[in-house]
């Protein structure tokens, strides 16, 4: 008997037991769909992270207080307060010729008020270089300058949504808002930016760095420095120069004793890629467990089928069918079940993955719809392999039956 003949006979047999075949296939459908969805969601989440970081530019250097090795974040990124960076460090970095702009950051959270309106807001103290580093534009008004910063000017620039939440349709320019009891005059509104680096930039309220440090936070350190390099090619050299300069300023001779962490955006992408890949395949592995459960279900059903078809097996062996023919027939049936489940699972997985991507993009996340050909081929291959592995024992048992015993079976 040819494989094609076995395939046709398998379809006939499965069609005769539609409910049982459906329930058997269903387990494989769930498993394959889960693997496809998790792989796609993992790739989509990875693209979201990469798009968020890439949107800030590939020629940026980020410096955080606190030491970290290449495999982990600095302590300051884990919520620990580290005070090793000062604004004078940022001013020194600006003198590196490969660096075109530098911005220093501090931030806090409090209630922003205007008349009877109030919102919970994140306020960010930044230097004027923020405009060039982040490449922002204003929809109205102006950003603050060095004179405003050095004089502790009580002024603010609102994010797009922060302005809408506080003032509605009214023009906020020239109005005073209060944060921590300090009156701040609105001098500008930033154009709509959306979510960048997992934070809605339109909800932020910007203040001159020294105003935020001295009047609102009572600190003399900064939480982050970002530097923009002239081009991508100069990033490695500029990063090395920045590290050397900071070590000289902080009297550090051993790099293992650094009190800061400096990385280029490309390095951050590489680190995140490793982490997200590991997480993606770990979750896919967990989802694949359902395929094993489905395989066990196939084995049980095939064993039942062997008992139900004893006479058929006996007749076929009596008229000349070999053990190889019988074994082939049951293996093909198991493969057909899992292949059918695999194809349906892939279709469902792709549809759900597409739906997730549509919803994510509707919510203004830069989420790519990613379903790769290798993942589809993997889903088909795994489903067939499951059928062969878990169908082997029932097939072998059917093939080993003696014709006389099979024909006598009631």
- The pLDDT of 197-224, averaged and rounded, is 90
- Residue 54 burial (10 A CB sphere; 0-12, 13-18, 19+): middle
Question: What's the pLDDT band for 60 if we cut at 50, 70, 90?
Answer: confident
Q: Which of 284, 131, 109 is nearest to 204 (CA)?
A: 109
Q: Reply yes or no on whether the pLDDT at 75 is more than 60.
A: no
Question: What's the pLDDT band for 108 if we cut at 50, 70, 90?
Answer: very high
- The pLDDT of 58-73, averaged and rounded, is 75
- The pLDDT of 53-67, averaged and rounded, is 76
Q: Reply yes or no on whether the pLDDT at 206 is more than 60.
A: yes
Residue 30 to residue 346: CA distance in whole angstroms: 10
Select, from the ranges 161-175, 189-203, 344-358, the one with the highest average predicted confidence (pLDDT). Answer: 161-175
pLDDT at site 385: 75
Q: Reply yes or no on whether the pLDDT at 17 is more than 70.
A: no
Q: In which residue are the tokens 């997730």 written?
A: 356
**Structure confidence by residue, pLDDT tens digits, 241-292:** 999 999 999 999 888 888 898 888 766 666 666 767 777 677 767 766 766 7
Question: What's the pLDDT band for 316 if we cut at 50, 70, 90?
Answer: low
pLDDT at site 265: 73
Question: What's the pLDDT band for 96 if we cut at 50, 70, 90?
Answer: very high
Question: What's the pLDDT band for 6 if we cut at 50, 70, 90?
Answer: low
Q: Where is pLDDT greater, at 83 or 47?
A: 83
**Structure confidence by residue, pLDDT tens digits, 114-168:** 988 999 999 999 999 999 998 889 999 999 999 999 999 999 999 999 999 999 9
**Domain chopping of the chain, boundaries:** 3-53+270-408, 85-258
pLDDT at site 331: 73
The answer to whether the beta carbons of residues 74 and 65 sit under 8 Å apart is: yes
Give the angle subtended at the CA of 129 by the CAs of 146 and 237, to the nearest 5°.
130
Give the contacts of 102 (CB within 8 A, at least 6 positions apart): 90, 91, 93, 94, 127, 129, 133, 225, 226, 227, 228
- The pLDDT of 173-188, averaged and rounded, is 94
* pLDDT cut 90: percent of the chain above it: 34
Q: Reply yes or no on whether the pLDDT at 341 is more than 70.
A: yes
Q: Reply yes or no on whether the pLDDT at 173 is more than 60.
A: yes
* pLDDT cut 70: percent of the chain above it: 70
Q: Where is pLDDT greater, at 77 or 194?
A: 194
pLDDT at site 266: 67
Tell me the residue ranges of DSSP E strands in 77-141.
Answer: 99-114, 117-126, 138-141
The answer to whether the beta carbons of residues 370 and 328 sit under 8 Å apart is: no
The answer to whether the beta carbons of residues 269 and 358 sit under 8 Å apart is: no
Q: Where is pLDDT greater, at 236 or 173?
A: 173
Q: What are phi and psi of 397, to 5 degrees?
A: -65, -40
- The pLDDT of 47-61, averaged and rounded, is 70
pLDDT at site 201: 86
The answer to whether the beta carbons of residues 186 and 172 sit under 8 Å apart is: yes
Q: Reply yes or no on whether the pLDDT at 304 is more than 90.
A: no
The answer to whether the beta carbons of residues 221 and 85 sit under 8 Å apart is: yes
Q: Where is pLDDT greater, at 208 or 342?
A: 208
pLDDT at site 332: 75
SS3 222: coil
């Amino acid at each position: 008997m040819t494989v094609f003949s076995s395939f046709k006979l398998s379809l006939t047999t499965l069609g005769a037991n539609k409910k049982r075949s459906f329930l058997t296939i269903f387990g494989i459908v769930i498993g394959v769909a889960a693997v496809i969805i998790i792989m796609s969601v993992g790739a989509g989440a990875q693209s979201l992270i990469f798009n968020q970081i890439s949107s800030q530019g590939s020629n940026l250097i980020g410096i955080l207080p606190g030491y970290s090795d290449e495999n982990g974040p600095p302590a300051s990124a884990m919520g620990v307060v580290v005070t090793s960076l000062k604004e004078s460090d940022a001013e020194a970095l600006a003198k590196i010729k490969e660096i075109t702009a530098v911005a220093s950051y501090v931030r806090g959270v409090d209630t922003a008020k205007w008349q009877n309106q109030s919102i919970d807001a994140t306020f960010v103290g930044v230097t004027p270089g923020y405009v060039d580093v982040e490449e922002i534009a204003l929809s109205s008004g102006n950003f603050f300058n060095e004179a405003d910063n050095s004089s502790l000017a009580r002024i603010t620039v609102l994010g797009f949504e922060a302005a809408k939440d506080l003032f509605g349709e009214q023009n906020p320019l020239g109005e005073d808002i209060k944060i921590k009891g300090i009156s701040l005059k609105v001098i500008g509104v930033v154009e709509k930016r959306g979510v960048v680096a997992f934070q809605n930039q339109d909800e932020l309220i910007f203040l001159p760095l020294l105003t935020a440090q001295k009047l609102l936070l009572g600190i003399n350190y900064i939480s982050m420095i970002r530097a923009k390099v002239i081009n991508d090619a100069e990033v490695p050299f500029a990063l090395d120069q920045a590290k050397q300069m900071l070590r000289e300023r902080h009297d550090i001779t051993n790099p293992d004793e650094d009190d800061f962490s400096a990385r280029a955006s490309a390095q951050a992408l590489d680190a995140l890629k490793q982490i997200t890949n590991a997480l993606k395949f770990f979750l896919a592995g967990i989802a694949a467990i359902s395929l094993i459960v489905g395989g066990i279900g196939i084995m049980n059903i095939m064993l039942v089928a062997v008992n139900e078809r004893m006479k058929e097996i006996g007749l076929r062996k009596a008229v000349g069918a070999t053990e190889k023919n019988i074994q082939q027939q049951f293996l093909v049936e198991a493969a057909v079940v899992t292949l059918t489940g695999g194809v349906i699972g892939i279709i469902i997985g792709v549809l759900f993955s597409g739906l997730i991507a549509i919803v994510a993009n509707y919510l203004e996340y830069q989420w790519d719809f990613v379903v790769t050909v290798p993942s589809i081929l993997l889903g088909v291959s795994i489903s067939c392999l499951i059928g062969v592995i878990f169908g082997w024992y029932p097939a072998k048992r059917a093939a080993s039956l003696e014709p006389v015993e099979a024909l006598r079976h009631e």
